[in-house]
Amino acid sequence: MIAGALAGFTGGLFGVGGGIVLIPILTGRFRLTQHQAHGTSLAVIGATALASLFVYGAAAHVAWRVALVIGAASVIAAPLGARLAARVSPRGLRLAFAAFLLLAAARLLWRVPEPGAPLVPAGALEWVVDLALGCAIGLLAGFMGVGGGVLAVPAFVLLLGLPQATAQGTSLAVILMTAPAGAVEHHRQGNVAWGLAPWLAAGAALGAPLAAALANRLPYEWLTRAFALFLVATSLQIGLRGQTRRPEATGRV
């Protein structure tokens, strides 16, 4: 429950599922394999998203149309990402994801985007971008065992011009659809530790609303920069872990 609460607090504060906090705990403290940790994480982070979403929704910080379109696309792509994960080595997944996090964080730190100044104009192009984002978020979620918020939140701010808090609330609404779709596919592959999942989910449901309430009270620029620093720290942690651990003898390429 403590592990779940840590993941839930992270998810509620930054609009992510919390899988990037939960997965290292599952592979370390609970000694799950990398792929079991990914599947179990997806089975848990829906609780984070649901609990946090009540707070963000009450504060009107959810763009529901965006969430529904992107969420629908992500549900289709998440199982494919879970299948691809079985073909990639854990070390390769960690290093690729670390590089992505670092690039997203660098972009946010370089210039805090102004809310209401979207790069993508309204119209047909916006729908195309929403569907493409949904597919990318779904693939990332199923592939890495996270909710996809680490991609969704920066994309919502930078491309769609959503304020940081709204981007985070919308991300959580998407995760609520994406995570179960990915978890089902991981379950089919035997990569969900169901004995742990209920306790982790209970902890996440307790920690997430507290963090979500805090996120809605912080200044916009502080929240954006805090999220970017969070991505940097996570990227370094994943990258160093990938360098110091020997490749796992799983037979995957």
Q: Is the pLDDT at 112 greater than 60, yes or no? A: no
Is residue 117 very low, low, confident or very high in pLDDT (cuts 50, 70, 90)? low
8 Å CB contact between 177 and 74: yes
d(CA 96, CA 217): 33
The rounded mean pLDDT for the chain is 82
Lowest-confidence pick of 95-104, 116-125, 181-190: 116-125
pLDDT of the residue at 10: 80
How does pLDDT run across 28-60, given as a tens digit for each residue? 789 888 788 889 999 999 888 888 888 889 889
Name the burial class of residue 65, with classes exposed (0-12), middle (13-18) and buried (19+) by CB atoms within 10 angstroms of its CB. exposed
Distance of CA 197 to the CA centre of its chain: 17
Is residue 161 very low, low, confident or very high in pLDDT (cuts 50, 70, 90)? confident
d(CA 229, CA 227): 5
Find the mean pLDDT for residues 135-149: 88
Q: Is the pLDDT at 247 greater than 50, yes or no? A: no
Percent of the chain's residues with pLDDT above 70: 87
Dihedral sign, CA of 22, 30, 46, 183? positive
Question: Which residues lie below 8 Å from residue 231, measured CB to CB, with a gap of 6+?
Answer: 101, 102, 104, 105, 108, 150
d(CA 61, CA 3): 27
Q: Is the pLDDT at 98 greater than 80, yes or no? A: no
Percent of the chain's residues with pLDDT above 90: 30
What tokens does 5 get?
């609460």
Q: Is the pLDDT at 86 greater than 50, yes or no? A: yes
pLDDT of the residue at 31: 86
Find the mean pLDDT for residues 190-216: 87
Q: Is the pLDDT at 172 greater than 60, yes or no? A: yes
End-to-end distance of the chain based on CA atoms, in angstroms? 34
Q: What is the pTM of this model?
A: 0.80
Find the mean pLDDT for residues 229-251: 64
